[in-house]
Amino acid sequence: MSDAAVELVGLSKSFGPVTAVDHVDLRIEQGEFFSMLGPSGSGKTTVLRMVAGFEQPTSGRVHLGGTDVTDRPPFARDVNTVFQDYALFPHMDVLTNVEYGLRVKKVLRAERRERAMAALESVQLGPLAARRPTQLSGGQRQRVALARALVNRPQVLLLDEPLGALDLKLRRAMQLELKQIQREVGVTFVFVTHDQEEALTMSDRIAVFSDGRIEQVATPAELYERPATPFVAGFVGTSNLLDGDAARALLGRTGSFSIRPEKIHLDPDAAPGQRTARGTVSDVVYLGSVNHYLVALDAGPTVTVLRQNLHGTTDQAMARRGETVTVGWADEHVIDLSD
């Protein structure tokens, strides 16, 4: 096995009484697009800062490319960080911004220019090299920040919520673009986000964080299809959690279970051999291409049922608010979350 791009061994960090990161073990392979996903305060940024060297671990080790760098300062680590606020110099044009790191490293002018232009072209900003950052859109500024990090040819690029300042539409566009750039340059990306859709869209693998610990490391499809814990099932995608009395009544089992909304049917007659339950539609949420039906089951819990909206408007919804319905699902779609 080749050396991991990043390997964290028993990594912990406390700030006074607060344990921000709690014994994290993690291996990120060369060339991966790897995301750290979790709610605010779950420790993602602190892990990233320890990889960069901005923060010293309370205990544990950081390895980069097979070398223990725990005691090295940031500049002696082969990583670069892209921050959410980009940190561009407003008085310098785009090319000079991108060159800056090379100038600090005393790279000669001709090589500097050439490498900076190549980095700008890799993010499709070659034609804007002479502009000031203030003359760019948010998405373009984001790409300058990326070029400025890539110009150093780091082994690993750390990105801390780099798309957080962009509006939703631009953010979605940049997600695809960033993934494409990563594929082209082949650098290992370690990407921090609290947006599960963003992580699912971009990543080869994702580590889900909660309370300073990793709940699960898996591919996007595995996380969605086989969440390991109730936390992951609830945080990644929409989920119907069934436990206690509800699990006993609806599934005839004890433990914690999850069923995804698209795996529950409103028309169980269409799929015989399923388990069924009666309930009342408490709401219909129109979401454009799909509808969410909230169904309060007679057995207790309210479940969300997702159906594609093939008819265009809620007027043709499959069920209306207040209507009594029978929902159904197949046993094979019940995810067991009990450990």
Residue 20 makes contact with ligand ATP by CB under 6 A: yes
Residues in contact with ligand ATP, total (CB under 6 A)? 12
Return d(Cα 69, Cα 281) in angstroms, integer: 57
Nearest CB to ligand ATP, comparing residues 56 and 67: 56
**Site membership for ligand ATP, residue 158 (CB under 6 A):** no
15 binds ligand ATP (CB under 6 A): yes
Tokens of 268: 């169980």
Q: Which is nearer to ligand ATP, 192 or 335 (CB)?
A: 192
Tokens of 46: 């602190």
Nearest distance from C-beta of residue 192 to ligand ATP, angstroms: 6
CA 33 to CA 206: how far, in whole Å? 9
Q: Which stretch binds ligand ATP (CB under 6 A): 15-23, 110-118, 173-181, 300-308?
A: 15-23
CB of 20 to ligand ATP, least distance (A): 3
Judged by CB, which is closer to ligand ATP: 11, or 178? 11
Closest contact distance (angstroms) between CB of 236 and ligand ATP is 16
Contact indicator for 191, 34 with CB cutoff of 8 Å: yes
According to CB under 6 A, which residues from 192 to 231 bind ligand ATP? 194
Residues numbered 35-64 forming contacts with ligand ATP, rule: CB under 6 A: 38, 40-46
Whole-angstrom Cα distance, residue 6 to residue 62? 7
Please identify, using beta-carbon distances, which residue of 33 and 209 lies nearer to ligand ATP.
Answer: 209
The nearer residue to ligand ATP, 42 or 203, going by C-beta atoms, is 42
- Token match 């009342």: residue? 280
Nearest distance from C-beta of residue 191 to ligand ATP, angstroms: 12
Q: Contact positions toward ligand ATP, by CB under 6 A?
A: 15, 18, 20, 38, 40-46, 194
